[in-house]
Amino acid sequence: MKLERKKQLLTELVAGLCAERGMEAPQTDDVDELWRAFRALVNTRPAWPADARWLQMQDELLQGLIAEAGVSTVDDAASFSPDGALRLWRGDITTLATDAIVNAANSQMLGCWVPGHHCIDNAIHTYAGIQLRAECARIMEAQGHEEPTGTAKITQAYNLPSQHVIHTVGPIAGGRPADVHRAQLASCYRSCLDLAAENDLHSIAFCCISTGIFGFPQQEAAQIAVDTVHGWLRSRDAGMTVVFNVFSQADEDIYRNILA
């Protein structure tokens, strides 16, 4: 995407977001500042309806940014099984084209509300677009209660290159997981896989559920993830390809050692 078009889109998008809150738009033509303002405003925006023209501009911007970053596919992930069903990929999950990516959500299931926060929930909602929070809000309103730990919900992925997002609530371990936390984490992986199979999906990319601010130690969480996925794949002929997505070198090393 050309810089001038990016600037034009961001200027109009930020102006629209400010107008709906009765705020003055920032007076800047710096693209980085405009992007930070855009992200902060959408991160804190309730699931309000949006103007069709605004949505069209948002979609053009987000799809352009993802294309600039470069989209990867399942075939780009390293295989760790003879049939290619188990794979490992290091990178930004918002640029991965699979049938579904997994979002580590909170129990409200509405995305991260902290402006610019560096969590996967924030990134997925930011790059999917405001349509994702709106769909999640409809699901949660119909459900009438917060999402229990270890379960999952499926939505469209909107501007992401994946087809769907599967949202799961991991256990809050606080650095000291108990047996209940281990069981809940395993349930997250099974629930996501079951939901993918029910929707006739054939590839799914898992983030490192609960290992961020939820405080599940990476090594133990990865072992549970691999063991649970192994068990699920052995129990049925679902034709499912599972990608373990990591972002740091440390997590990649952990998964490589376990998978090897």
pLDDT tens by residue, 184-199: 999 999 999 999 999 9
Q: At CA 157, angle to CA 152 and CA 161, rounded to 5?
A: 125
CA 243 – CA 70 distance, rounded (Å): 18
If asked whether residues 94 and 200 sit together in one domain, one would say yes
The arithmetic mean of pLDDT across residues 136-149, rounded, is 97
Q: Measuring CA to CA, which residue among 47, 14, 30 is closest to residue 125?
A: 47
Average pLDDT in the 25-34 region?
95
Per the structure block, which two tokens stand in for 157?
Answer: 């992925």
Domain shared by 76 and 129, yes or no: yes
Question: Both 64 and 77 in a single domain?
Answer: no
Beta carbons of 131 and 69 less than 8 angstroms apart: no
Q: How many domains does the chain have?
A: 2
- Give percent of the chain above pLDDT 70: 100
Shared domain for 139 and 37, answered yes or no, is: no
What is the structure's pLDDT at 88?
98
Supply the pLDDT for residue 234. 92
Q: Mean pLDDT across the stretch 112-117? A: 95
For residue 185, the domain's CATH number is 3.40.220.10
What's the average model confidence in pLDDT over 14-23? 96
Structural domain including 117 reads 71-259
Domain finish residue from 53, 68, 83: 68
Output b/e per residue, 47-57; b: 16+ Cβ within 10 A: beebeeebbeb
- Burial code (b: 16+ CB inside 10 Å, e: under 16) for 129-155 equals bbbbbbbbbebbeeeeeebebbbbbbb
42 and 9 in one domain?
A: yes
Look at residue 238 and tell me whether its pLDDT is greater than 80.
no
Q: Which ranges of 47-178 does DSSP label H, i.e. alpha helix?
A: 52-69, 120-128, 130-143
- The arithmetic mean of pLDDT across residues 139-154, rounded, is 97
- pLDDT, residue 175, reads 87
Tell me the three-class secondary structure of 106-137, residue by residue.
CCCCCCCCCCCCCCHHHHHHHHHCHHHHHHHH
Residue 162's CB is within 10 A of a number of other CB atoms, namely 26
Residue 52 has pLDDT above 90, yes or no: yes
Q: Quick one: 95 and 213 in the same domain?
A: yes
Residue 13 and residue 105 in one domain: no
146 and 252 fall within a common domain? yes
Quick one: which of 247, 3, 14, 39 has its CA closest to 128? 39
What are the distances in angstroms from CA 242 to CA 144, 168, 209? Answer: 31, 16, 14
pLDDT band at 231 (very low <50, low <70, confident <90, very high): very high
The answer to whether residues 138 and 234 belong to one domain is yes
Is residue 95 within 8 Å of 84, Cβ to Cβ?
no
Same domain for 153 and 173, yes or no, is yes
